[in-house]
Homo-oligomer: A and B are copies of this chain.
Amino acid sequence: MHFADRLHERISDIDSRLVIGIDPYPEKLFGSSSPFARAYPHLSPEKLLIEFCAILIETAEETACAVKPQAAFFESMGLSGLAVLSACLKAARMRGIPVIMDAKRGDIGSTAAAYARAYLDPDSDFFADALTVNPYLGPDTLEPFARAAAQSGSGIFVLVKTSNPGSGAFQDRLLKESAERLYTKVARAVTDLGAANIGRYGYSHVGAVVGATYPSELKALREVLSSSYLLVPGYGAQGGTAHDVIPAFRPDGMGAIVNASRSIDYAYEALGNGIDKDSIRKAIYDAAKKAQMDLNNAAKPIPST
């Protein structure tokens, strides 16, 4: 089944536009001063990591349209971290939760094809429903990803306008030939890349990453990216609000999914130290539920009667 169709139906089915980012910061999860580690006093770091992923996946089952593991944190924990990542991807998929692998890969020709094999081939240890990719090397380097994704019914999300404070330095440059910003040119390439593979709801399997922290760019890019699902980071801990993400959605309340990582993953930190397992689960669940509602309100403004 087409990736965008699966995603679209998942959003409708559970009425959620929330993506739960899985960002395991070692300094938050491990060590004697970590409230998480103290709630599970007999677990090794590897088992703590497994438990952390399991709680987020269980939470996502009811509250999120997808989970988004951040590859960097798992890679930073070496081979054992990557073994947990592989298990985490499988666990989420088994529960029917779409997995967006946030690895921001990008390389030329046959190397891009190798990355696509790693993340978009059902036989891989790291198979995901979608992969984030970086466009700097050029549209030709995105093609192997788009091709592999179309074949396996998965998708890609191309970085267009990212949420960080310095994203403008290169992405916002005004181009002399076309009098448009670089991010607009990249967005047009994204639209072209997916044009031959539009699903039944009007969206291609090639989505785009556009940050919540730049609402006016988000509004402009929603137009250019006419057949793309938007993956919107920057909501929550990075400062983007539900109001900021309103322009990401189509009038029907669809077309975008919004990621929150730290504000959900570490919601229990607000409770202080010495909390137990149940309180950790509940704090994470409550934060996810609140974000789900918050984003639904942004996507579907109450009709004025």
Q: Is the CB of A169 within 8 A of B182?
A: no
Is A201 an interface residue, CB under 8 A from the partner? Answer: no
Is A162 an interface residue, CB under 8 A from the partner? Answer: yes
Q: Is the CB of A189 within 8 A of B173?
A: no
Q: Is the CB of A78 within 8 A of B124?
A: yes
Total copies of this chain within the assembly: 2
Digitize A189-216: 1 where CB-to-B-CB distance is under 8 Å, 0 elsewhere. Answer: 1000000000000000000000000000
Digitize A99-134: 1 where CB-to-B-CB distance is under 8 Å, 0 elsewhere. Answer: 000001111111110110111010011100000001
Assuming the contacts A107-B104, A114-B75, asked whether A165 and B136 have C-beta atoms less than 8 A apart, the reply is no
Q: Is the CB of A136 within 8 A of B78?
A: no
Q: Is the CB of A106 within 8 A of B104?
A: yes
Contact of A115 among B72, B159, B185, B186 (CB under 8 A): B72
Contact of A78 among B109, B125, B185 (CB under 8 A): B125
Assuming the contacts A75-B114, A104-B105, asked whether A166 and B138 have C-beta atoms less than 8 A apart, the reply is yes
Q: How large is the interface on A (under 10, 10 to 19, 20 to 34, 35 or more residues)?
A: 35 or more
Residues in B whose Cβ lies below 8 Å from that of A82: 79, 82
**Which residues A26-77 have CB closer than 8 A to chain B?**
70, 72-73, 75-76
Instruction: State how many angstroms separate the Cβ of A211 from the closest Cβ of chain B.
Output: 9
Is A135 an interface residue, CB under 8 A from the partner? Answer: yes
**Which residues A153-203 have CB closer than 8 A to chain B?**
159, 162-171, 173-177, 179, 182, 185-186, 189
Residues in B whose Cβ lies below 8 Å from that of A110: 25
Q: Is the CB of B109 within 8 A of A137?
A: no
Contact of A136 among B86, B135, B175 (CB under 8 A): B135
Closest B residue to A25 using CB positions = B110
Digitize A238-282: 1 where CB-to-B-CB distance is under 8 Å, 0 elsewhere. Answer: 000000000000000000000000000000000000000000000
Q: Is the CB of A164 within 8 A of B185?
A: no
Q: Is the CB of A138 within 8 A of B164?
A: yes
Q: Is the CB of B141 within 8 A of A166?
A: yes
Is A236 an interface residue, CB under 8 A from the partner? Answer: no
Assuming the contacts A79-B83, A162-B137, asked whether A72 and B107 have C-beta atoms less than 8 A apart, the reply is yes
Please measure, in the bound complex, the distance between the C-alpha atom of A75 and the C-alpha atom of B79, giving whole angstroms: 11
Q: Is the CB of A138 within 8 A of B115?
A: no
9 closest pairs, A vs B, by CB? A140-B166, A78-B125, A138-B166, A72-B114, A108-B164, A75-B118, A136-B136, A76-B117, A174-B176
Given A72-B111, A182-B182, 13 new contacts (CB under 8 A): A23-B111, A70-B114, A72-B118, A76-B124, A78-B118, A79-B82, A104-B105, A136-B162, A136-B171, A138-B168, A138-B171, A139-B166, A140-B169
| A interface residue numbers (CB < 8 A to B) | 23, 25, 70, 72-73, 75-76, 78-79, 82-83, 86, 104-112, 114-115, 117-119, 121, 124-126, 134-141, 159, 162-171, 173-177, 179, 182, 185-186, 189
